[in-house]
A = this chain, B = another copy of it.
């Protein structure tokens, strides 16, 4: 169900990219970051730590770019500050961020189908990308 590190590394190879220690480590971090919100900086720290090597931040950005251009990865913005990365295979979801407590809730995109198709009907606009979070107030903070 979830992509493994090997899935990612061999897919990279299949696409004609070279496998380096840095890339292997980054693949591993992404494969393991199931529900986490990791920034590129986080990815670098973890990958370097995990593989016991040093990896430059620019290498991470470049590798994430490769993944993103292959459509395997997306980055989203939950607020100001760094974007966070997501393997695309993870169930597509929108991010709802509570402006009061900062809590971030993932809502599977299917659950927004009705909501979004209303938008499309009324405004001819079909939301396609969950690139920016929706900011609001969560249940707890509403009380």
User: Contact residues of A with B, CB < 8 Å?
Assistant: 77, 96, 98-99, 105, 107, 111-112, 114-115, 118-119, 122-139, 142
A140 to chain B, nearest CB (A): 8
Q: Is the CB of A133 within 8 A of B132?
A: yes
Q: Is the CB of B131 within 8 A of A135?
A: yes
Q: Is the CB of A129 within 8 A of B96?
A: no
Number of copies of this chain in the oligomer? 2
Given the interface pairs A115-B115, A115-B118, A119-B115, the reply to whether A125 lies near B138 with Cβ below 8 Å is yes
**Which of B129, B133, B134, B136 contacts A136 (CB under 8 A)?**
B129
**Which of B129, B131, B132, B136 contacts A125 (CB under 8 A)?**
B136
Enumerate chain B residues within 8 angstroms of A118, measured Cβ to Cβ: 114-115
Q: Is the CB of B119 within 8 A of A139?
A: no
A123 to chain B, nearest CB (A): 6
Enumerate chain B residues within 8 angstroms of A107, measured Cβ to Cβ: 119, 123, 125
Q: Is the CB of B129 within 8 A of A99?
A: yes
Q: List 24 A-B contacts (CB under 8 A).
A: A96-B125, A98-B125, A99-B128, A99-B129, A107-B123, A111-B123, A114-B118, A115-B115, A115-B119, A119-B134, A124-B139, A125-B134, A125-B137, A125-B138, A125-B139, A126-B137, A127-B134, A127-B136, A128-B135, A129-B135, A130-B135, A132-B132, A132-B133, A132-B134
